[in-house]
Amino acid sequence: MNKKYIIAAAFLILGAVNQSCSDEFIDVQPTEKIPESALGEIYNNNEGANNLVTSIYAKFLDWNMSTFAWIGVTSIVSDDADKGSSPSDSGSDKDLLDALNFNPATPSFKELFAANYQGINRCNQALKYLPQLDKSDESLRKRLIGEAKFLRAFMYFTLVRSFGGVPLVDHVPVTGVEADKLMTLTRKSKEEIYAFIEQDLKDAITALPDKSSYGAADKGRASVGAAHALLAKVYLYQKKWQLAVEQTNLVTGYSLTPVFQDIYKISGENNDESVFEINGTGGTSGRAIQQYSQVQGARGTTGWGWGFATPTQSLYDAYSANDTRRDATIIHRDMTLYDNYYVGPNTENKFYNYKAYSSNYRDQASTDVNIRYLRYAEVLLIKAEAMNELGQTSAAITSLNQVRQRAGIGNTPAVSQADVRTDIWKQRRLELAFEHDRWFDLIRTGQAQAAMAADGGKVFKVGIHEVFPLPQDFIAEAGGLSAQNPGY
């Protein structure tokens, strides 16, 4: 969404300024509750209604939601990235994540868990109050409710992929109500969480407009295309192949960006390939995705960052020399970047994440790069994978080849269902590297044990590492209402 709206939202009552935890570990209590008087005085108009939902988007700018912990549990833990930085800098726990030596006390899991429930809290508050704002436009309220449900589904998808079953907090808890306390402390099964996500997305689909209907001030808001795409992805993770195909067919009005690297420039933000992304901003006067570029920026005399989450040699080698995605995904020493900035030969690490590169970051204090979460290329790959699993391999190849051709590597040589499956999984790795999906892809496709063994002999424990441990603080607070994941 428009950067000035994100900046404004950061200072609202629901706001993103002091996201302190409540006494309970899951921050879902109404600690940021809007005074009832404010509903009429401040929020009962179109701007107020809009700001309720803008504050949800603003949560994605926070350090604990989108930066160090998230980079660690999605990139560093996988075979796409090493810890990076200096050998002596553990990054709190990034060395543990890299070595698969994490446990329930590992800080990144606490941040991941708490941040998403803080965001869900904002969704639930918006969904509670929006229907009461009778002086705002009904059509606007309907759309905003759709956005809140999309964002809630997005966050629950992160949680269920990370931890399996989690507490299902579907409304603002009332202090002193025992049933609501139990709701915040009791895990539901992953199947129940997935069913909830599906319903939220179905509701969002009925309420959201096409991306093209948004004006410049609302770029980046969730659209009906984003809801269909996310629902397709949710179905993919559950191997509901036919439903996944049906949803991808409803993602219309998008196209592949001809030059892959152009996606990740400022000029590529929210372009025709973008289905959903989180907007950053530049400059010191407003909020940004906190230090997302800095954490992953090149480290050394010609660098601008901390040097964490460095691409692995195996990722670099997985690209063919003529694959245009390689040099748009991986910065290496002695390289001139697209803005003519020269990365010298003496950076501390050999490789860095190009997709996190911000032209402006070197001169300004904020991250101005957007995080691309859903692109049309992934929609094509979801469709290809689901169709192939349904035995429609020829049709699957058509979608797969669109992604390959844009990368400059030509049509797939694969013919059989098994070989096409292997190529689809490979193209997901190469296409979506550092877009926070690799670890989850390895888990859902059963490749994790072999991939980790190939990544320096790391030991993936089958039956344990398919999910992360729930934070120890939460387990202690739950007092027996929620059990830890097996093996931890």
Sign of CA dihedral 450, 451, 454, 458: negative
Residue 197 is encoded by which pair of tokens? 């996500």
Q: What is the mean pLDDT of the chain?
A: 91
Per residue in 289-331, pLDDT (tens digit) is 888 999 999 999 888 899 999 999 999 999 999 999 999 999 9
Quickly name the fold that domain 376-454 has: 1.25.40
pLDDT score recorded for residue 24: 42
Phi and psi based region of residue 22 (left: phi greater than 0; alpha: psi -120 to 50; beta: remaining): beta
Higher pLDDT, 153 or 20: 153
Per residue in 323-373, pLDDT (tens digit) is 999 999 999 999 999 999 999 999 999 999 999 998 876 655 567 789 999
- Longest Cα–Cα distance of the chain, Å, equals 65
Q: What mean pLDDT comes out for the span 196-223?
A: 96
pLDDT score recorded for residue 36: 62
Whether residue 11 is predicted with pLDDT greater than 70 in this model: the reply is no
Residue range(s) occupied by CATH 1.25.40.900 in the chain: 376-454
Residue 141 is encoded by which pair of tokens? 């309220």
> H or E segment at 274?
strand 274-278
Q: What mean pLDDT comes out for the span 232-239?
A: 98
User: Which residues face 274 on adjacent strands?
Assistant: 375
Whether residue 424 is predicted with pLDDT greater than 60 in this model: the reply is yes
pLDDT score recorded for residue 407: 98
Residue 3 is encoded by which pair of tokens? 């950067």
CA 177 to chain centroid, in Å, comes to: 33
Q: How far, in Å, CA of 361 to CA of 351, rounded?
A: 18
Whether residue 18 is predicted with pLDDT greater than 50 in this model: the reply is no
pLDDT score recorded for residue 21: 31
The 3-state DSSP class for residue 120 equals: helix
